[in-house]
Amino acid sequence: MSKLSLTVTREIWPLAKPFVIARGSRVETEVIKVTISQGVLFGLGECVPTPRFGESVSGVIDAIESIRGKLITFSGELSQCRQQLQHWLPAGAARNALDCALWDLAAKAEQTSVAQLLSFIEPKNITTVQTISIDSPENMGKAAALLKNLPLLKIKLNEELVLERLNAVHENAPKAKLLIDANESWDIVLLEQVANSIKHLPIVLIEQPLKANQDEVLKGKSFAVPIGADESCHTCSDIPYLAQRYDVINIKLDKCGGLTEGIQMAKLAKSNGLQVMVGCMVGTSLSMAPGLILATQASYVDLDAPLLIKVDRPFGLQIN
For the question of residue 221 being annotated catalytic, the response is: no
Report pTM: 0.96
Q: What pLDDT score was predicted for residue 1?
A: 62
Q: What pLDDT score was predicted for residue 319?
A: 75
Q: Which of 154, 156, 177, 199 is catalytic?
A: 156
Q: What pLDDT score was predicted for residue 2?
A: 82
Q: What pLDDT score was predicted for residue 131?
A: 97
Which pairs with CB-CB distance under 8 Å and at least 24 residues apart come from 207-214? 207/179, 207/180, 207/181, 207/182, 207/248, 207/250, 207/277, 208/181, 208/182, 208/183, 208/184, 208/232, 208/250, 209/180, 209/182, 209/184, 209/185, 210/184, 210/186, 211/184, 212/184, 214/187, 214/188
The domain segmentation of the chain, as residue ranges, is: 4-112, 130-308
Instruction: Give the CATH architecture of domain 130-308.
Output: Alpha-Beta Barrel (3.20)
- Taking the chain (320 residues) in runs of 10, the rounded mean pLDDT of each run is 92 96 94 97 98 97 98 96 98 98 98 97 93 98 97 98 98 98 98 96 98 96 96 98 98 98 98 98 97 96 96 86
Q: What pLDDT score was predicted for residue 58?
A: 98
Q: Which of 252, 255, 270, 310 is catalytic?
A: 252
For the question of residue 252 being annotated catalytic, the response is: yes
Q: Which CATH superfamily is domain 4-112 in?
A: Enolase-like, N-terminal domain (3.30.390.10)
